[in-house]
Structure 1
Amino acid sequence: MACGLIHELTTVISQDKSQSSPQWQTYEKRSQQETQRSQTQPEVKVISKSICCILPIAHIAIGAVYLHDCPREPYIPIYLIVFGVFGVLLSVLPCLPCTELPRDGPATSMSNLGFALNFLMSIFLLCWFIAGNVWIYSIYQPNYDKNTTSVDPYCDKTLYLFSFWIPTLVYIFLGLAQIFSLCASMYNCMYACMRAICGLCPGTSSTTITTTTSRTITTVS
């Protein structure tokens, strides 16, 4: 009796799978893709975070090596060290499993704590970056010669140029990003205007514009 019921249940399940085979295959494909993503995501995250840690580590190294080599502005090497340390922490903190936000279900206390620390460190780094800009640009260009008899205190050339060009490159990239976004906005605006002028509807193709343009040219000629 029991064997007969089990046989009937397996038959019904196999029939259900055969009847809804496309949906079942789609579900299996999605589950396999999610499994592959979950397996490859930690590797990608580790590689990306390792690349992001290169620049903060360089900040720490340059600031530690030339810690006492900028009497003109002693806060510059300290700025590099602190910025590098918090940059590394900001890159490593999201990699901790306990601070990750769960995909399913409510956030845990550790994930909320990690999010709060991430937010506070980001605000601190922004304020520290602004302070570092004041210290760096206020002494441009300093005296690079350590053995000079000038009254003006010196600042090591490697230390100052490194600390000078990092924020400068940040501002250059931000300016280029603004220009690119402005060009993209102008392009979208011009494209919308051309669609309005030519009467292009969402369902029409580009051949309609070509035909309309050729007819207009023929009429004018």
Structure 2
Amino acid sequence: MKPINDIPGPVEPSEEYVVKLPIILSLYTILNVAMLVTGFIYEDDCPVEPNIPLFLKLQGIFGLLSRSIGSIKYYISNRDWFFVFLVISSLLYIGEFTVFLLGSFWVYKEAIPSFKASDTKHYCYKGIYLFAFCYITIMYCLMVFAASFLCCVLCVASSFGINKVAQTKPWQIVVI
């Protein structure tokens, strides 16, 4: 086991990354605040699956916390505090992914509920359901795209004999 002093510290992000980070964080923040507000406003407007508003609230909270803690860790120069923020942000990302999977189950389980308030058993407010459905569907599409892109890059890199990716240390990979 490595001593605690051998734990890598923060890596200086490139200038391009520093410029794009506030824009990406702003978009995530707007999306997470919208999810949080929508979840609280329409808390009781989805009797067919009351966990859909809960999903939006939890996803908004985890999203705001994980992005905040995740971006703070890049401004910390002390190795010990960097490691603490790294662990906390990792736990938040795991929680966010868990809520995402639960939300996927809750939303896709209902297929298409009734959007008429008179149908009290199968009713879900159209805005809250479609917001959750579109968010989850877009996230799955982005995951498939990212995985496909990574596979293509690795295939091209291996066909040209480029071994730089394999030499990258895990803590040098910057994740937003």
Same fold (TM over 0.5): yes
2:97 corresponds to 1:123: no
Aligned to 1:70: 46
Compute the TM-score of the two structures, normalised by the length of structure 2: 0.70
1:115–1:73 distance in 2 versus 1, CA, 3 Å: same
Greater than 6 Å deviation, 4+ residue runs: 189-192
- Structure 1 unmatched ranges of 5 or more: 1-33, 193-221
Do the aligned partners of 1:94 and 1:100 also contact (CA within 8 Å) in 2?
no
**Counterpart of 1:55 in structure 2: which amino acid?**
L
2:169 corresponds to 1:169: no
Aligned to 2:68: 92
| Alignment partners' CA distance in 2, 1:45 and 1:181 | 21
What's the % identity of the aligned pairs? 27
Per-residue CA deviation, residues 67-121 of structure 1 (Å, 9 max, x unaligned), is 1100011111011011101101111123447x7442xxx613x333212210111
1:46–1:191 distance in 2 versus 1, CA, 3 Å: closer
| Alignment partners' CA distance in 1, 2:92 and 2:21 | 20
Per-residue CA deviation, residues 161-182 of structure 1 (Å, 9 max, x unaligned), is 1101111111112223333344
| Alignment partners' CA distance in 2, 1:171 and 1:111 | 30
The structure with more helix, counted as a fraction of residues: 1
Residue 84 of structure 2 is aligned with which of 113, 127, 135? 113
| Alignment partners' CA distance in 2, 1:157 and 1:178 | 31
| Alignment partners' CA distance in 2, 1:112 and 1:185 | 29
2:27 corresponds to 1:58: no
| Alignment partners' CA distance in 2, 1:182 and 1:49 | 26
Query: What's the Cα RMSD here?
Result: 2.9
Aligned to 2:57: 81
Do the aligned partners of 1:46 and 1:95 also contact (CA within 8 Å) in 2?
no
Do the aligned partners of 1:59 and 1:81 also contact (CA within 8 Å) in 2?
yes
Do the aligned partners of 2:47 and 2:121 also contact (CA within 8 Å) in 1?
no
| Alignment partners' CA distance in 2, 1:185 and 1:111 | 30
1:144–1:184 distance in 2 versus 1, CA, 3 Å: same
The structural deviation recorded for 1:52 is 2.2
Compute the TM-score of the two structures, normalised by the length of structure 1: 0.57
Specify the structure having the higher radius of gyration (Cα).
1
| Alignment partners' CA distance in 1, 2:72 and 2:149 | 35
1:171-186 equivalences under 5 Å are: 171-184=140-153
Do the aligned partners of 1:76 and 1:132 also contact (CA within 8 Å) in 2?
yes
| Alignment partners' CA distance in 2, 1:128 and 1:184 | 30
Number of aligned residue pairs: 147
The structure showing larger relative contact order (alpha-carbon pairs under 8 Å, at least 6 residues apart) is 2
